[in-house]
Amino acid sequence: MQRHYSLFDRLTMQADAALRTLVPESCQASRPSPATCQPESSLDEQQRKHVAGLMRINHTGEVCAQALYQGQALTAHREEIRTAMEHAAEEEIDHLVWCEQRIKELGGRTSLLNPLFYGLSFAIGAGAGAISDKLSLGFVAATEDQVCKHLDNHLGQLPAAEQKSRAILEQMYLDEQEHSTSAIAAGGYRFPAPVKAGMSLLAKIMTASTYRI
């Protein structure tokens, strides 16, 4: 029998999810990192900092994904959509943990801007979910398409020897593609090109700021 949560219960759960997302080493992955089976590469200082910056961007992207899905789950109209959003958020935790682990191995740190981007993404997700489930699902698809584009870009920037980060990003790419396809199949709205262009601009602001901060 499925339990029905009150608004207070859901808000409490959202606060817990936010803390687990933003506090380092608070989450556990359900799958082992794809980097585990890859050899450690010999990077010079400049390469190491660059790879750490790229992985910091991807980690912040996963922070945003967590917030987006949690916001959408909070305001979803249909129970099956809420369940789907919560399930997607659980899958994205793997990416969050993998990126955080790799950043630590490279001697870097996660972005100081993560709380800001979490709050903004949560508000966007909650707003989209409140308007309609179709719009919410469409936003998932469009967001995941943007993520796949910047993952592809980052894969092209990695040093050839950096197989650990490459393995992580390649698995993330496959997972994000599946999330996008599933969202459209579930009835998501296909966003027009101008809206996607605006989302791309916001993504560039996020990547430029979190590369170093």
Residues 6+ apart with CB under 8 A from 106: 48, 51, 52, 55
Q: From CA 98, how far away is CA 44, in angstroms rounded?
A: 22
Q: Is 105 annotated as a binding residue?
A: no
Q: Where exactly are the structural domains of the chain?
A: 43-210
Q: From CA 207, how far away is CA 29, in angstroms rounded?
A: 24
Q: Is 62 annotated as a binding residue?
A: yes
Q: What is the pLDDT of residue 183?
A: 75
**Element of type H or E holding 93:** helix 79-105
Q: From CA 83, how far away is CA 7, in angstroms rounded?
A: 15
Q: What is the pLDDT of residue 14?
A: 64
Backbone angles phi, psi at 75, to 5 degrees: -110, 5
Q: What is the mean pLDDT of the chain?
A: 79
Q: Is 154 annotated as a binding residue?
A: no
pTM, entire model? 0.81
Task: State which amino acid sits at residue 26.
Answer: S
172: pLDDT strictly greater than 80: yes
End-to-end CA distance of the chain: 46
Share of the chain above pLDDT 70, in %: 83
Q: Is 79 annotated as a binding residue?
A: no
Over residues 19-24, the mean pLDDT reads 68
Q: What is the pLDDT of residue 194?
A: 60
Q: From CA 213, how far away is CA 195, in angstroms rounded?
A: 27
Q: Which of 96-110, 128-142, 158-172 has the lowest mean pLDDT?
A: 128-142
Q: Domain 43-210: which topology?
A: Ferritin (1.20.1260)
Q: Is 92 annotated as a binding residue?
A: yes
Q: Is 25 annotated as a binding residue?
A: no
**Residue positions counted in the chain:** 213
Confidence of residue 9 (pLDDT cuts 50, 70, 90): low
186: pLDDT strictly greater than 80: no
1: pLDDT strictly greater than 50: no
Torsion of CA 138, 90, 83, 124, to 10 degrees: -40
Q: What are the pLDDT digits (tens) for 84-126? A: 777 777 777 888 899 999 999 888 888 888 888 888 888 887 8
